[in-house]
Amino acid sequence: MRTNRLPYLGFLTTLVICCLASKSIGSTVELSNFKVGYLKTYPKILDSSSSLDFGWTPQLDLTLIVLRGEISLFGAKRSPNSSFLISNYEAFAGLKLLPLLRIEAGGGLQNWHGQGGVSPVVTGGVVLDLGTFLDRIYFNYSYVLNKNNETKILKLGMGLNL
């Protein structure tokens, strides 16, 4: 199997498992969940940059634990006049600490299109669960394990349940 297909296969497998599990235990699956946010990248070698972050974030709410997938797309800069796209594929597990507050951690892969290929990423963060249409506000910190260019990414955004 080609390496660049692994993120898609892993994410789809996670989604299928979540859907099957939700039917057997009566939990809530939200397939129409999306995110929009702002992020700042801090690479070791390249220029730091800011970008909007858009993604599909289906989730399975198991009351105390929330499982969430993420497929997102954002931009980054190689230099002041050169930018490129990054696609992000991650799976998260969140633990509710209070009725409106949870922590989450996860990992997956990022594809830096035309700038180094696919690299592993680990992420941790804090989520404020709000409810209906605007269902969450999040702050996440990601660490991308690029060869010769470790990158840190700070993300702040909101989740929308359509």
Spell out the SS3 assignment of 20-64.
HHHHHHCCEEECCEEEEEEEEEEECCCCCEEEEEEEECCEEECCC
Residue 130 backbone phi and psi in degrees, to 5: -105, -35
State percent of the chain over pLDDT 90: 54
CB 57 within 8 A of CB 73: no
| Number of domains forming the structure of the chain | 1
Q: Tens digit of pLDDT for each residue in 84-115?
A: 899 999 999 999 999 999 999 999 999 988 87
pLDDT at 1 over 50: no
Average pLDDT over residues 116-143: 93
State whether the Cα torsion 44-47-52-53 is positive or negative.
Answer: negative
Which of 71-75, 96-100, 114-118, 136-140 is predicted with the least confidence, judged by mean pLDDT? 114-118
Task: Give the pLDDT confidence of 5-53 residue by residue, as tens digits.
Answer: 555 556 566 656 555 554 545 568 888 899 999 999 887 766 688 999 9
Query: Any residues with CB less than 8 A from the CB of 49 and at least 6 apart, and which?
Result: 40, 41, 75, 76, 77, 83
The CATH number given to whatever domain includes residue 24 is 2.40.160.20
Tell me what percent of the residues of the chain surpass a pLDDT of 70.
80
Q: Which residue range is the domain that position 122 belongs to?
A: 3-161
Q: Contact at 8 Å (CB) between 71 and 28?
A: no
Q: What pLDDT, on a 0 to 100 scale, did the predictor assign at position 114?
A: 83
